[in-house]
Structure 1
Amino acid sequence: MAAAMEMLQKLQKEITCDICTSYFCDPVTIECGHSFCQACLSLIWRVRTTNFSCPECRQVPQIREFPAVNGCLAKLTEVCKELSCQLLQSSEGQHQCASHKKILKLFCEDDQTAVCVRCSQSPEHGAHMLSPVEEAAHRCREKLQHILSQVAKTVEEAETLLAKEERPDVDWHWIINAEYYKLQEFLLEEEFRCLKRIGQEQRTTQEKISQHMQRLQRLIEDLQEAGHKSNVEMLQDVKQLLGRSKSLLLQRDKAVTPEMREYAIPVMIEMLSQFRVDITIDPKSACSYVTVSDDLKSIKAEEGWQVDTEDPENSSYYSLLADQAFSSGRQYWEVDVSQLPQWILGVYTPYLRRKRGRNVDSCASVFLLRCVKKEDDYYLQTCPESLNHRVKCPVPRVGVYLEYKTGTLVFFNVCQGSLIYSFQSLPFIAPITPIFCPGPPLPGTKSGPMTLCPANFPCACS
């Protein structure tokens, strides 16, 4: 028996494919004399589109045609497989139970193990389902054959899919490239229209200011002329002069302070939303004049916050910090300020690189956007001061975009999809913490909360 098994092993080596290490399936023999499964060689040569060499000896065939199935080798493989099954069946009688030294004739379906007759009568296997070894082996071989056919079918499907991917029916690369090109053209057209509109509005504003200056100049001339008139003549004209003077002086703030223009940037808010972060308030930064909600998402000014009515510009500000700080990457968050007439948003950093001559030092800095109400008008201002614009109506929701590496801080009017202001090239060298201030409140009024919008909040205002 041992000699037969040894001969079988040598024969098995001759009918085994070196690619899949299994018995040949439709074997083919190439010029160098080596044989492989037809499917295995086809797959290897399909992958190596430029070098159709032998997978074993690397010799390149002179004839590039795919070889036909070797019928003799296929028959030899079937005979060897049958002989192998017979030898395995005859050798099963040599396998004995370790406990009773009896031949393993039964198979326990519950424990999935071969047992002898005495083991089957023991309490351990008494209630289990048992079957002859031959029957169990036959069922197992059928299952394995079924699985083998499924795997082979899956391989064929994968090969078909791979071929489609190599030669796709739809050129997605070209389609996507074309769509992005359209988007670029659309944005360039929008940019051109926006810049053209800015130029037109600048010229209109310049004309209004020039006209206002002309009226002021004429008023100055009339006032100087009135000073040289007789008492009676001056008193006759004084009512009209005083009325003109009062009217022009009332127009001073609106004439001198530019109006914030709304220039919507298409899809900008949607693009920034991919960088949205969920921010909460640091409760340790709160004070008695400002309260924080239990979910750390809203802050509100309390009645104890007193505002100097004579000089509201210099009233105390009580700012709170976020519980998060950022020292890399891009972040975007939104704040609902629709219930506040006055507010402050921005960022704080404990260190900021500053150049003084040849030396470089660092200091703490804040960069803020502030909304201030004066009479019936609202003004947006920045700190450091460079923006001071009047707005037609309050901004209900503000988006803040921070890009640490480039030192960029941008404020957006979310509902209009327009830019408010942008700080560029800020020399950040330390973590950046968002700042929030729900005030100062207007005297005699009760303000609502300032709310930090969650990261999954809708992009557009409802």
Structure 2
Amino acid sequence: MAAAREILQEMQKEITCGICQSYFSQPVTMECGHSFCQACLSQSWRVEATAFSCPQCGQMAQVREFPTVNECLAQLADLGKQLSCQLLQSTEGQHQCATHKEVLKFFCEEDQTLLCVRCQQTPEHEAHQLSPIDQVAPSYKEKFQHIQSHLEKLLDEAEKLLAEENPGVDWESMIQGEYLTLHNFLLEEESRCLDRMSQERRASQDRLSRQMQSLQLLMLDLQEAGSQPDVELLQDTKQLLARSESVLSQRPGTISSELRSYPIPGMLEILHRFRVDIRLDPTSAGAWATVSEDLKSVKAAEGWQGHTNHPGGGHFVFADQSFGTSGNHWYWEVDVTQLPQWTLGIHTTGLMDRNEEDSSAVLFLLSCVKKDEDYYLQSYPESLNHRVKDPVPRIGVFVEYCPGTVIFYNVLQRSLIYMFYPILFTDPITPIFCPSPPLPGTEPGAMTLCPVDSHLCACCYSAP
């Protein structure tokens, strides 16, 4: 019996279609010697094609005419089918119950298991619906054929979706065009957005490819199950039904026809993603400044004159938190509406004691100085000295630890003031503030840290 099975297996290789992997149906043989079902070969060739090639080896046919049916091969395929059925039927009696060593004759609908006569008499199957194998197997074959037809439709749908790689709208170019209108800072955001689009597309294609592979494997298993004898078919019924239910519940999703959201916000909208809630450290103020109870604002003390050899006169109020031990981006805004002169920026810790005036600390500062009727924005340690017609009501500060960058923004104008770059940060970063001495004849004004949810626009601000 084993030898006959081996001979049949060798024979099956010669009478099996390379496209559908089933016994030949009206086989046709190409010039290269490879044979296929007539219907399979017809479906693999496009009507508008100017030349035909072998689906197996790729050799081009010399003539366009469709090959005729190979009658000898068709008879051999029919003979193989008959031998296969006879061999399978002769082995049905060899399937026995593992517990009682008796022939399996019944199928339990509830448990979807095969039973012998003694199994059906056990208490666990007493109330179950049992059917003879030869009666119940055809219904499952029909059910598998129905599932297979659904799988074929889903596979066609998945193939069409996977072929639609061109979404019809070149979103990448549109997004790139929008990013080009923004500041250089947005280049990183542009790259992140495009990378995310590419990753999502690859993920969708990979998901569909895996789903198609799952569909194809299940179809092959169902085809194989349909050609098995009743006993072997019913042995795998539970597993095949569970797999079929899982696969059929997952419909292919669109790859590219779906409209995805890739917002390109303005500069400050992006910066607001990195807003941090800063509070002042009152112990760093000394006698020259006063910090509010909510630790959100500071003003110069009465009579303080400061020094002119250093921005802010060497006096700074520090924030009560530092940055650099976690994260990479931080952004905060400072309201300087009440101040004609001020200084703010960042200080790297570990190089200067907060209460020392003479120090070699690393500072990156922006100052506003009033001269006559004009206001000047000055940077330290570099050489910005920019005149502005009106005072800047709110300053935005953005810090990127790696690569080291400190950027100051005019929040009302939504524009860049100055950028320190590159900076090799090695220590934590602490925001610092100085309201500067009041001008003669004026009252000290407050420098205020803005809440993280606050926004400033031209429609809600009027110059003093």
TM-score (norm 1): 0.55
Distance change (3 Å), C-alpha of 1:160 and 1:276? same
Q: Is residue 300 from structure 1 mapped to residue 295 from structure 2 by the alignment?
A: yes
The 8 Å contact of residues 378 and 390 in structure 1, kept in 2 or not, is answered as yes
255, 267, 270: which one pairs with 2:266? Answer: 270
SS at match of 1:422: strand
User: Which residue in 2 is equivalent to 1:400?
Assistant: 398
Q: Is residue 318 from structure 1 mapped to residue 313 from structure 2 by the alignment?
A: no
SS at match of 2:366: strand
Task: Give the Cα separation in 1 of the matches to 2:331 and 2:39.
Answer: 59
User: Which residue in 2 is equivalent to 1:144?
Assistant: 144
Task: Give the Cα separation in 1 of the matches to 2:458 and 2:132.
Answer: 72
Matches within 5 A, 1:8-19: 8-18=8-18
Q: CA deviation at 1:322?
A: 5.6
User: Which residue in 2 is equivalent to 1:367?
Assistant: 364
User: Which residue in 2 is equivalent to 1:111?
Assistant: 111
Task: Give the Cα separation in 1 of the matches to 2:160 and 2:61.
Answer: 28
Task: Give the Cα separation in 2 of the matches to 1:80 and 1:301.
Answer: 89
The 8 Å contact of residues 398 and 407 in structure 2, kept in 1 or not, is answered as yes
Letter in 1 for 2:151: V
Task: Give the Cα separation in 1 of the matches to 2:456 and 2:82.
Answer: 69
Q: Is residue 428 from structure 1 mapped to residue 414 from structure 2 by the alignment?
A: no
Letter in 2 for 1:60: Q
Matches within 5 A, 1:164-313: 165=165, 170=168, 172=169, 177=173, 270=266, 278=274, 280=276, 286=281, 288=283, 300-301=295-296, 307=301, 309-312=303-306, 313=312
The 8 Å contact of residues 412 and 419 in structure 1, kept in 2 or not, is answered as yes
Task: Give the Cα separation in 1 of the matches to 2:38 and 2:344.
Answer: 71
379, 383, 391: which one pairs with 2:380? Answer: 383
The 8 Å contact of residues 378 and 392 in structure 1, kept in 2 or not, is answered as yes
SS at match of 1:131: strand
Q: CA deviation at 1:45?
A: 8.4
Task: Give the Cα separation in 1 of the matches to 2:271 and 2:409.
Answer: 14
Q: CA deviation at 1:415?
A: 3.8
Q: CA deviation at 1:10?
A: 3.1
User: Which residue in 2 is equivalent to 1:93?
Assistant: 93
Task: Give the Cα separation in 2 of the matches to 1:404 and 1:350.
Answer: 17
User: Which residue in 1 is equivalent to 2:154?
Assistant: 154
The 8 Å contact of residues 280 and 323 in structure 1, kept in 2 or not, is answered as no
TM-score (norm 2): 0.55
SS at match of 2:451: strand
The 8 Å contact of residues 301 and 444 in structure 2, kept in 1 or not, is answered as no
Letter in 1 for 2:304: E
Letter in 1 for 2:295: K
Task: Give the Cα separation in 1 of the matches to 2:76 and 2:361.
Answer: 86
Letter in 2 for 1:11: M
Q: CA deviation at 1:420?
A: 1.6
The 8 Å contact of residues 376 and 385 in structure 2, kept in 1 or not, is answered as no
SS at match of 2:295: strand
What CA deviation, in whole Å up to 9, does each residue of 1:313-354 have, x standing for no partner?
4373122276542899xx7654243487467654445799xx
User: Which residue in 2 is equivalent to 1:417?
Assistant: 414
Task: Give the Cα separation in 2 of the matches to 1:432 and 1:281.
Answer: 17
Distance change (3 Å), C-alpha of 1:452 and 1:6? same
Task: Give the Cα separation in 2 of the matches to 1:161 and 1:69.
Answer: 35
Letter in 2 for 1:430: T
The 8 Å contact of residues 327 and 404 in structure 1, kept in 2 or not, is answered as no
Q: CA deviation at 1:379?
A: 5.9
Letter in 1 for 2:324: A
User: Which residue in 2 is equivalent to 1:206?
Assistant: none
Letter in 1 for 2:123: P
Structure number with larger C-alpha Rg: 1
Distance change (3 Å), C-alpha of 1:336 and 1:179? closer
Task: Give the Cα separation in 2 of the matches to 1:271 and 1:42.
Answer: 59
Distance change (3 Å), C-alpha of 1:110 and 1:388? same
SS at match of 1:300: coil
Letter in 2 for 1:423: F
The 8 Å contact of residues 24 and 37 in structure 1, kept in 2 or not, is answered as yes
Q: Mind listing any 5+ residue stretches in structure 2 that lack a counterpart?
A: 183-262, 286-292, 307-311, 352-359
Q: CA deviation at 1:32?
A: 1.8
334, 339, 348: which one pairs with 1:337? Answer: 334
The 8 Å contact of residues 340 and 449 in structure 1, kept in 2 or not, is answered as no
Q: CA deviation at 1:449?
A: 4.0
Distance change (3 Å), C-alpha of 1:79 and 1:14? same
Task: Give the Cα separation in 2 of the matches to 1:376 and 1:104.
Answer: 104
Task: Give the Cα separation in 2 of the matches to 1:43 and 1:349.
Answer: 72
SS at match of 1:451: coil
Distance change (3 Å), C-alpha of 1:300 and 1:169? closer
What CA deviation, in whole Å up to 9, does each residue of 1:384-428 have, x standing for no partner?
2533544624433625264844x554322244222222234x342
